Each structure stands twice: as C-alpha cells, then as structure tokens.
Amino acid sequence: MKIDAHQHFWEYVKDEYSWISDSMIGIRRDFLPVDFQKELLDLGFDGSIAVQARQTEQETEWLLSLSEQNDFILGVVGWVDLRDRNVNEVLAAYSRHSKFVGLRHVVHDEVDDSFMLQKDFLRGLSYLSELNLTYDFLLYPQHLPIAIEVARMLPEQRFVVDHIAKPLIKEKQMEPWATNIKELARLSNVYCKLSGMVTEANWEWWTPNDFFPYLDVVIDAFGTDRVMIGSDWPVCLLGGSYEEVMSIVYEYIDSFSKSEKAAILGSNCRNFYLGKKSADES
C-alpha cells in the first residue's frame, strides 16, 4: 500500500485561510477530494492522510465527514485546543471516529517559540498516547530544540515532524537545522515526513538535487523505518505539479532496496498513523 502522508483540503474563504498570502494566489481556490483523488491514483497511491489547515474543531469535523465519504482518506489529523480544561473529554469523543488518528497545532505561527512548553499544552499532549493518537510537529528550525524537549518529556507519545522542519533550502543553509534534527531523531518516538520541501526552495527554479543534501541528513538520522513520503498538496502546487513534487523522493530512493522503498512509500505511514488504532479496533 502506498500512502501520501500529508495533504489538505479546503473550501477557500479568505478570512479563514489568512496564512495563504498574496504570493500564494495559485492556491486561493477550493481543493476537494474530487480534485485530489485522480492525482493520487495516477501516481499509484492507495490513500492519504488529510491534515488540518484551520485551527478550529469545525475543521476537524469537516475532514472527518470527508473521510466518511471518500475511502481513500485513510486518516485525519485534526485540531483541538490542547490547552482547554476539558480537552480529555473532547479527544475521547473524537477518538470514537475510526479515522481520527491525531492532532496538529500550527506552532510555527505562534509568537512564543516555547509555546509547546506551556503547562496546559503539555497536559493536553499527555492525553494523546492514552487514546493512541499521534501528534504532528509543524515547526521552523528554531523550534527544534523545544520539540526535542517535548518529545523527551513524553516518551510514550508518537510524534512526526512535518516537512523535515522547514530548513532554509532556498538559502542552502544546513545549520543549526541539521544538528538539531539529528538530535531529535535520536528519540525513537519521533518520525519525519519527507514533505513540504519545494515551498522552502525557489518556487520558480529548483531541481531534485537541491533537496538531496537535506534528505541525506534526514535519512542518516531517522533511517528508512521512521520516514514517510508526503506531498503537502495543494500547497506544493506553488512549486510544481503533484507528480513533480513526489518525484523528488522517488528519485532520491531509486537505489534503495525494495523493502526500504515500501517502507518510505507506505508502510511507515500506515504503522505510525493506523497501526495501533487498527489493533485497538480489532
């Protein structure tokens, strides 16, 4: 099974997607399952993980409703306010849905780089492992030391780094990103998505070789059993077509073994997001 570990849907309303700036005019429109499924199937993928793009519970409920209508949406990474006093009850309610697999917070947009160390946020995070839910780290490189601290505090929690933590690819800058991503990878409860790289490069002019030094660092740090391919569709369309963006990882792993390719293209994602949930349901 091949799984795209990271993609989004939205019905575009300017006020609800303020992060889509004027420079992103190409994605200021609706992107729905009917638009994505053909892209997925044309590349031979069986399904995807839909990830929140708005920080509302309405977003979580909308994505879950889409997953009920579209079998190829294998899991939903939603949003709830982890600082809410009653978050454990909210999480328990959502967890009754078979495709609710985890949460994400847009940490890199918070004013405080240490946002995740807030007592209330950590308390909310601590409930996730009890419900076999995952957590996506959405970070810039300066947040990696905080992510290391959080992942160490919660060794039973499964974490995954979105978009290899957005290194400064356009500037060809490796440090301190490389040192910190290696340190984070030493924690066995943390995975990494090979996704979202084109939007950190020059959108108009890039080659796969621009990304290979960063992928070298990630694969060396996490190995081939804790990384997963993701498109970041439709955001990735700012820098290239779905096939072009996914081909970066395909080209990079061309010389890998059959089992390593299978892991990166699907089984790692399945095990991370769906494995424990499936076991619970059985």
Banded model confidence at residue 18, pLDDT cuts 50, 70, 90: confident
Looking at every residue in the chain, the average pLDDT score rounds to 95
| Cα distance between residue 237 and residue 245, in whole Å | 8
Q: How far apart are CA 137 and CA 196, in angstroms?
A: 13
- Number of domains present in the structure of the chain: 1
Q: What is the mean pLDDT of residues 119-147?
A: 97
d(CA 194, CA 248): 9
Residue 279 C-alpha from the chain's centroid: 22
Q: What is the residue range of 68's domain?
A: 3-281
14 C-beta neighbours (distance < 10 Å), count: 8
pLDDT band at 276 (very low <50, low <70, confident <90, very high): low
pLDDT tens per residue across span 217-262? 999 999 999 999 999 999 999 999 999 999 999 999 999 999 999 9
What's the rounded Cα separation, in Å, for the pair 7 and 198? Answer: 14
What CATH number corresponds to the domain at position 87?
A: 3.20.20.140
DSSP string computed for the chain = --EEEEE--B---GGG-TTS-GGGGGG-S-B-HHHHHHHHHHTT--EEEEE-SSSSHHHHHHHHHHHHH-TTEEEEEE---TTSTTHHHHHHHHTTSTTEEEEEE-GGGSSSTTGGGSHHHHHHHHTTGGGT-EEEE---GGGHHHHHHHHHH-TTS-EEEGGGG---TTTT--TTHHHHHHHHHTSTTEEEEE---GGGS-TTS--GGGTHHHHHHHHHHH-SSSEEE---BTGGGGTS-HHHHHHHHHHHTTTS-HHHHHIIIIIHHIIIIIIHHHHHH-
Q: Provide the pLDDT confidence category of residue 14 given band limits of 50, 70 and 90.
A: confident
Q: Which residue has the higher pLDDT, 280 or 30?
A: 30
pTM of the model: 0.95
